[in-house]
Every structure is written in C-alpha cells, then in structure tokens.
Amino acid sequence: MTSTVPALGTRTAEGSALQAVLLDMDGTLVDTEGFWWDVEVEVFAALGHTLDDSWRHVVVGGPMTRSAGFLIEATGAAITLAELAVLLNDGFEERIGQALPLMPGAARLLAELHEHAIPTALVSASHRRIIDRVLTVLGPHHFDLSVAGDEVSRTKPFPDPYLMAAARLGADPSRCAVVEDTATGVAAAEAAGCRVVAVPSVAPITPAAGRTVVPSLEAVDLAFLCGLMTEMR
C-alpha cells in the first residue's frame, strides 16, 4: 500500500496531529489468539476437563487472571490461578518457539511507522515473559516501549495500559491511534480516550463513534491513522 503521509506532530488551533500509535499484540500483530485457546484446551484436557468451544469468545483478549479464572470456575478444575498461569504461559511460549506467524500487513505497518519515526508502543495483556519472546520476532526496534499485562494493577478492559503507554510516550491519549482485535482491547482503548482501529480476529466488532473497523491490517497505513486525527477536528 502506498500513501501520501501528511505532516506529523504539528499543532493547530484545533489540536495536534497524530502523536503516537499503540498496538495490541495477540491477534493484532501476531496470529496467536488460536495458540492461546489450543494451549488452554490441552492444559485442561490434562486436568481431565473438556472446554466448550463457545467459551473461546469469553476468554479471548482478556487478561490471564480473567480468562484462566473463568475456565477454572466453568470446569471446576482442581488447580489454582497461579498454577494455571504457569502452565498456560509455558505452553504458549513453547508454541511460539516453533512458529510465530505475523498477521497480514503487520510487518509493512511496523516498518512504515519506524521509517517515519512515529512513537509506537506495544500494549498487551500478555505477561512480560511472553512479550519479550514475541518482540524478538517483531523487532524491538519497531517499538519505543511495551506494556505487559502483569505490569499494571488493572489490565484490559481497563484503560490503565493505554494510559500508561501514552504517558510514557508523552502523548495525549486523544491523539493516540490504537489498533486492537478484540472487544476487550477496544473497550480499554476507548476508556483511555484513544481513537481506535478494530481489526476483529475471533469475534466481530461493530463500528461506533471514535472507532473504525477494518477487515485486516492491510487496510491500515500511516495516512489512514493520521486521518483518524483529522476526523476529530
């Protein structure tokens, strides 16, 4: 995708241009939402429980405390949340060590943001140990910082991760574009006051005020993200 990139970082009477881009990880940049579900299915099978496929929509995009807690309650499995978190992280880390496919358009978008020196953050509900592994594939140079789910007192769907990322980048949340793939992540970004691009992965997301829904990252480039700020004026 080629585009004409408008001038960035300028201030006008109506406000400033795009100040930062904040990106979710699982299901947004890397095709791993299915990995998490597969690991959850395997772990609970080893515990003697079968997961209902309809639960996948309940646990997708959420923090591990919520998703794992839900599965423990739903199955009645005899395991603590802390014990389950270790098993899930171990299983997921093993899977991404074998293969870590990027979502279509992810590599191009990251390269474009880096080329134009756009402040960029990776904001995920995954734990730090997982983010650091994924960053080796995405390229840590593409991000000015990253925020992990176990580094905030309240992770998605609360706004805390996005507010933290914006603050650390010195950006106004209302001038940040967020790219997310789940309703949980969208809720977090919108609660933080960011403009949101939703790229649904597992479950559909409906358009709304301040939210644009696209079929894939191939529909997103820097000019597109800058346009979100223009719409606010």
pLDDT band at 232 (very low <50, low <70, confident <90, very high): low
pLDDT of 9 reads: 45
User: What does the pLDDT average to over 129-155?
Assistant: 94
How buried is residue 134: exposed, middle or buried, by Cβ count under 10 Å (0-12/13-18/19+)? buried
Q: How confident is the model over 28-78, as pLDDT tens digits?
A: 999 887 888 899 999 999 999 999 988 887 777 667 788 888 999 999 999
Res 93: pLDDT: 86
Output phi, psi for 57, to 5 deg. Answer: -70, -20
Q: What is the pLDDT of residue 51?
A: 94
CA distances from 137 to 29, 33, 36, 99, 214 (A): 11, 16, 18, 10, 24
Pick from 103, 123, 82: which is nearest to 35 by CA?
103
**Whole-structure pTM value:** 0.80
Q: What is the mean pLDDT of residues 6-23?
A: 62
State the average pLDDT for the chain: 88
CA distances for 44 relative to 47, 51, 57, angstroms: 5, 7, 17
Q: What is the pLDDT of residue 89?
A: 86
Round to whole Å and give the CA distance between 121 and 28: 13
- pLDDT tens column, 155-189: 999 999 999 999 999 999 999 999 999 999 999 99
